[in-house]
Structure 1
Amino acid sequence: MFLKYLFLGLVGLCAGGVIAAGIFAFIVTIGVVIRLIGKTHTGKHIRLIEDFIVAGGTLGNIVNLYEIAVPGGYPVLLLFGIGAGVFVGCLIMSLAETLNALPVLSRRIHLTTGLQYVILSIAVGKGLGAAVYFILNIH
Structure 2
Amino acid sequence: MKELGVQALLGLFGLAGGMVTAAGVFALITVIGIIPRLAGRSRTGARIHTYETAICLGGILGNLADIYHVPLGLGVPGEILYGLCSGVFVGCLVMSLAETVNVIPVMVKRSRLRVGIQYVVLAFAIGKCIGSIIFFNSSF
TM-score of the aligned structures, taking structure 2 as reference length? 0.91
What is the match of residue 16 of structure 1?
18
Aligned amino acid, residue 119 of structure 1:
V
- Counterpart pick for 1:57 among 44, 47, 59: 59
Aligned amino acid, residue 114 of structure 2:
T
Task: State the aligned residue count.
Answer: 138
**Separation in 1 of the partners of 2:96 and 2:5?**
44
What is the match of residue 83 of structure 1?
85
Unmatched 5+ residue regions in structure 2? none
What is the CA distance between 1:10 and its match in structure 2? 0.8
- Counterpart pick for 1:43 among 42, 45, 53: 45
Residues 1:120 and 2:118 aligned together: no
Q: How do 1:27-38 residues align onto structure 2 when only pairs under 5 Å count? A: 27-38=29-40
Q: Compare 34-43 and 70-79 and name the one that shifted more.
A: 70-79
8 Å contact 2:32–2:96 — kept in the other structure? yes
Percent identity reads: 44
TM-score of the aligned structures, taking structure 1 as reference length? 0.91
What is the match of residue 103 of structure 1?
105
DSSP 3-state at the match of 2:61:
helix
8 Å contact 2:35–2:48 — kept in the other structure? no
Aligned amino acid, residue 138 of structure 1:
S
Q: Compare 13-22 and 62-71 and name the one that shifted more.
A: 62-71
Unmatched 5+ residue regions in structure 1? none
Residues 1:138 and 2:120 aligned together: no
What is the CA distance between 1:137 and its match in structure 2? 5.3
DSSP 3-state at the match of 1:53:
helix
What is the match of residue 74 of structure 1?
76
What is the CA distance between 1:107 and its match in structure 2? 1.8
Q: CA RMSD in A?
A: 1.4
Structure 1 segments of 4+ aligned residues over 2 angstroms from their partners: 128-134, 136-139
**Separation in 2 of the partners of 1:64 and 1:130?**
21
